[in-house]
Chains A and B, each alone.
Chain A
Amino acid sequence: MAETIPLSGLAVGSSAVLREFPKTGPAFLRMREMGLLPGTTLKLVRTAPLGDPLEIEVRGYRLTLRRSEADAVRVEPGGRSA
């Protein structure tokens, strides 16, 4: 498997494939239910003016999450643009 980085470390405007996800915590369950699953392609669209939260595009819609959650999500940069 290629190298993974935390989602929060992704450059604005670039795409990545989600690889690893914490198993526990209701926040992470909800993120999965919103369609963020291992293998899903996503794109970091922008960050809020103060750098947090992040806006990502996944499955054709926009979602925001805080850096504190994005830190725990491992992604593989590259992949098709979402």
Chain B
Amino acid sequence: MSLPSHLGETARNSPAPARHTPTYALVGNPNCGKSTLFNALTGLKQKVGNYPGVTVEKKVGTAYSQHGQPITIVDLPGAYSLAARSPDEAVTRDVLLGRRSDTTAPDRILCIVDATNLERNLYLVHQIMDLGRPVILVLNMMDLAAKAGLQISIDRLEKELGIPVIPCEASQGKGLIELKVAMSRSDLPLPRHSWTIPAPIAPAVSELQASLVDHSRKSALSARAEALLLLTDQDSVRVAGSTPLDGRTLGILHTWQKRWESEGMDWAGSLVSSRYEAIGRLCAEVVRAGSSDRSAANVSDRIDEVVTHPVWGWAILGVIMVALFFSIFTFAEYPMTWIDDHVASLSDWVKGVMSEGDLRDLITDGAIAGVGGVVVFLPQILILFFFIGLLESTGYMARAAFIMDRLMSKVGLNGKSFIPLLSSHACAIPGIMATRTIEDPKDRLVTILVAPLMSCSARLPVYLLMIAALVPNDRVPVMTKVGIMFGLYGIGYLGVFGFAWLFKRTLFKGRPPVMIMELPPYRMPRMRDVLLHMVERGGLFLKRAGTLILAISILLWFLAAYPKSHDGATPQEQMTHSFAGKAGHALEPLIKPLGFDWQIGIGLVASFAAREVFVSTMGVVFNAQDTGEESTPLRQALLAAKWPDGRQLFTPLTCVSLMLFYVFAMQCISTIVIVKRETNSWRWPLFQLGYMTSTAWIVSFLVYQGGRALGF
């Protein structure tokens, strides 16, 4: 969404009269309660989207002043510093510096800090006060600060900084009225910000500042802020949509950096140190550490002693994960059945009111069936995001990353990849959407690339059908079937770790990744925030997957329905006559070495709608009456299927080969669409399709041909 355009240059650079709706940027460190404050200020009046070209969430909301005046708030991604280390932080930096053409630079800045952790939180505030815009400082979690024995003198802080300082408990709604009153003030002052730039650096700052004023037409203050930032932004993360630096300024920067390097000067470090010195002096002035009731900190510590314990830590992680999957598979079942039933009755209703014909089939078999087949995963996705939100807002997510980091680092990933990968067991889509919590762009991309190798729930019906065909004898103990299932999941893990390892050593070589992560204290989750997060994510899934999947479902329907066979043809005859049937025939030379014939080929093509469609397709192709994955008719139909030369089609070896093919192959249009959205190009989804499907082919080929050579 675009911000009001009448906010002109003048409004941006001077304390603006708030006659028109002012735009605030909300900034703060991660874990300081920023989303809670944003939700509390704007309620449900939020728009969630993406910054064009980057996969960083853009949230804009409207709050109302005491007099009912609307105030626009842009919730910028959480950041520790404007010297960005992740795409999230880069967006925050670029919006504040006016480097993004898609987002108007905000008039005013609302900084939120965690009062219990003032020093580190003030580092970002210190950088922001350089920007030359009016700032309001919100001290959140004042209750916890009081419990920790910290007495913060609001008056002195206001006097020292020259800006309004509002104490607040966002989760209780305390301080919001005072905050709104401050936000609707028309005479918001600029921060009184005095800190001495280290002497050896000062000339460079002035030179860069002058150049930025000349070439980028920035105001003097924001040019100075940008100059300071350029000096600390050593390995600046550039993201799409950001205006690049002009050549002359860049030249000046390089000249100074070279000079300092030859002198052995640590310019970035001395800038950071001088900011922390200023913050230290400020804190000494305004914070009194009284008798601390450290019970809150102790509770967190005691929880951590168990949660990161060498034995209990793993047990708890295991229990949480089992609970997660148990809820996904049991609680999701009711809504999934409900959706299935309603999709079916909607389809029946259309069949009832429309006369027979292609248009009716297009609507029922193409559009309704296709979209229904994707929407049916929505309950699982919502439950997954509910859990992820819960784990994140309590602080457990950081602990899971902490204890898993060592294992994940063996293949070059970090602990934060663990939850997205695990979520992919339910469905790769939420897993891939959850990779946004991984700051490092390379780690994130590798995680996205390997996530679909985790056996997802849509593969289950295929596995079950093949296991039923493989071990048809009911006397085979259940444990054999369970064992096969575990084996397939295990092979998926091998794929995940093997390919992550390979990609990290080839495509994404570079500095070993670092994991500098804050472990926030445990907090009670705010249900409202968790639910809002869940609904947002579910909505994004529907919006992103919906339209394209609708188109592809119709295409797949068309391929199976045309060209028309003779009148009165059975579904089986129609399927074999259709383009899909022809595709199966065309595929046969390619898949015959794997033990598959053209009829299985139809199933492989149809699987792109969702892997589980394989089962129903096999039902149609082999003309089975009942098409449940474990139903006897389908199993018998499969076992009766023959090659033209009379050999059995579904030999045990073919079943194994087919199962392995499904473990590795990328047969899911929805995932491809999501990967495209999350990586912003077709390059990665196509690469993924290529590497996974060729791995699937090679593995199945080796197993089938090897098995044949061994006489199976």
Hey, which bits of chain A sit against chain B, CB under 8 A? 21, 23-27, 29-35, 37-38, 46, 48-53, 55, 59-66, 68-69
- A-contacting residues, B44-79, CB 8 Å: none
| Mask: chain B, 320-351; 1 = CB below 8 Å from A; 0 = not | 00000000000000000000000000000000
Query: In the complex, are the beta carbons of B276 and A37 less than 8 A apart?
Result: yes
- A-contacting residues, B146-168, CB 8 Å: 148
Q: What CA separation (Å) do A35 and B518 show in the bound complex?
A: 12
Query: In the complex, are the beta carbons of B272 and A37 less than 8 A apart?
Result: yes
Given A34-B516, A52-B406, A55-B402: 6 more A-B contacts, CB < 8 Å: A23-B269, A33-B81, A35-B119, A35-B276, A48-B403, A68-B514
- Which residues of the partner chain A approach B565 to less than 8 Å between Cβ atoms? none
Closest 6 CB pairs of A and B: A50-B406, A62-B519, A26-B235, A27-B514, A49-B310, A23-B266
B268 CB within 8 Å of chain A: yes
Query: In the complex, are the beta carbons of B516 and A30 less than 8 A apart?
Result: yes
Q: What CA separation (Å) do A27 and B415 show in the bound complex?
A: 17
B523 CB within 8 Å of chain A: no
Q: What CA separation (Å) do A37 and B598 show in the bound complex?
A: 67
Q: What CA separation (Å) do A78 and B85 show in the bound complex?
A: 32
Q: Among the listed B148, B234, B402, B415, which residue makes an inter-chain contact with A26, where contact means beta carbons less than 8 Å apart?
A: B234
Count chain A CB atoms within 10 A of each CB in B234, B273, B308, B402 and give the residue with the most. B402
Q: Which A residue's beta carbon lies closest to that of B265?
A: A23
Q: What CA separation (Å) do A61 and B120 show in the bound complex?
A: 9
A-B contact pairs, 23 of them (CB 8 A): A26-B85, A26-B235, A30-B80, A30-B81, A30-B83, A32-B273, A34-B80, A35-B119, A37-B276, A46-B305, A48-B403, A48-B405, A49-B403, A52-B406, A53-B515, A55-B308, A55-B402, A59-B117, A62-B518, A63-B516, A64-B516, A65-B515, A68-B512
Query: In the complex, are the beta carbons of A48 and B402 less than 8 A apart?
Result: yes
Q: Which A residue's beta carbon lies closest to that of B118?
A: A60
- Which residues of the partner chain A approach B123 to less than 8 Å between Cβ atoms? 33, 35
- Which residues of the partner chain B approach A60 to less than 8 Å between Cβ atoms? 116-117, 119, 148
Count chain B CB atoms within 10 A of each CB in A21, A27, A48 and give the residue with the most. A48
Query: In the complex, are the beta carbons of A63 and B514 less than 8 A apart?
Result: no
Q: Which B residue's beta carbon lies closest to that of A54?
A: B402
A63-B518, A64-B516 given; A32·B272 CB < 8 A: yes
B314 CB within 8 Å of chain A: yes
In whole Å, how far is A14's beta carbon from the nearest beta carbon of chain B?
Answer: 16
Hey, which bits of chain B sit against chain A, CB under 8 A? 80-81, 83, 85, 116-117, 119-120, 123, 148, 232, 234-235, 266, 268-269, 272-273, 276, 304-305, 308-310, 313-314, 398, 402-403, 405-407, 409, 415, 511-512, 514-521
Q: What CA separation (Å) do A23 and B516 show in the bound complex?
A: 17
In whole Å, how far is B413's beta carbon from the nearest beta carbon of chain A?
Answer: 13
Query: In the complex, are the beta carbons of A33 and B512 less than 8 A apart?
Result: no
- Which residues of the partner chain B approach A32 to less than 8 Å between Cβ atoms? 268-269, 272-273
Q: What CA separation (Å) do A27 and B309 show in the bound complex?
A: 27
Q: What CA separation (Å) do A69 and B516 show in the bound complex?
A: 9
Q: What CA separation (Å) do A54 and B402 show in the bound complex?
A: 9
Q: What CA separation (Å) do A27 and B440 show in the bound complex?
A: 12
Q: What CA separation (Å) do A5 and B514 show in the bound complex?
A: 21
- Which residues of the partner chain A approach B405 to less than 8 Å between Cβ atoms? 48, 52-53, 64, 66
Q: Which A residue's beta carbon lies closest to that of B279?
A: A35
Q: What CA separation (Å) do A24 and B272 show in the bound complex?
A: 13
A49-B308, A59-B120, A66-B405 given; A29·B272 CB < 8 A: yes
- Which residues of the partner chain A approach B409 to less than 8 Å between Cβ atoms? 52, 66
Q: What CA separation (Å) do A50 and B398 show in the bound complex?
A: 16
Q: Which B residue's beta carbon lies closest to that of A52?
A: B406
Query: In the complex, are the beta carbons of A69 and B514 less than 8 A apart?
Result: yes
Q: Among the listed A21, A29, A53, which residue makes an inter-chain contact with B234, where contact means beta carbons less than 8 Å apart?
A: A29
Q: What CA separation (Å) do A29 and B269 show in the bound complex?
A: 7
Q: Among the listed B309, B314, B511, B515, which residue makes an inter-chain contact with A64, where contact means beta carbons less than 8 Å apart?
A: B515
- Which residues of the partner chain B approach A53 to less than 8 Å between Cβ atoms? 402, 405-406, 415, 515
- Which residues of the partner chain A approach B276 to less than 8 Å between Cβ atoms? 35, 37
- Which residues of the partner chain A approach B314 to less than 8 Å between Cβ atoms? 49
In whole Å, how far is B51's beta carbon from the nearest beta carbon of chain A?
Answer: 22
Q: What CA separation (Å) do A38 and B280 show in the bound complex?
A: 14
Q: What CA separation (Å) do A15 and B80 show in the bound complex?
A: 25
Q: What CA separation (Å) do A46 and B309 show in the bound complex?
A: 10
Q: Among the listed B310, B406, B514, B519, which residue makes an inter-chain contact with A55, where contact means beta carbons less than 8 Å apart?
A: B519
Query: In the complex, are the beta carbons of A65 and B516 less than 8 A apart?
Result: yes
Query: In the complex, are the beta carbons of A35 and B514 less than 8 A apart?
Result: no
Query: In the complex, are the beta carbons of A37 and B402 less than 8 A apart?
Result: no
Q: Among the listed A50, A59, A68, which residue makes an inter-chain contact with B403, where contact means beta carbons less than 8 Å apart?
A: A50
- Which residues of the partner chain B approach A29 to less than 8 Å between Cβ atoms? 83, 232, 234, 268-269, 272
Query: In the complex, are the beta carbons of A21 and B269 less than 8 A apart?
Result: yes
Q: What CA separation (Å) do A31 and B273 show in the bound complex?
A: 12
Count chain B CB atoms within 10 A of each CB in A53, A60, A65 and give the residue with the most. A53
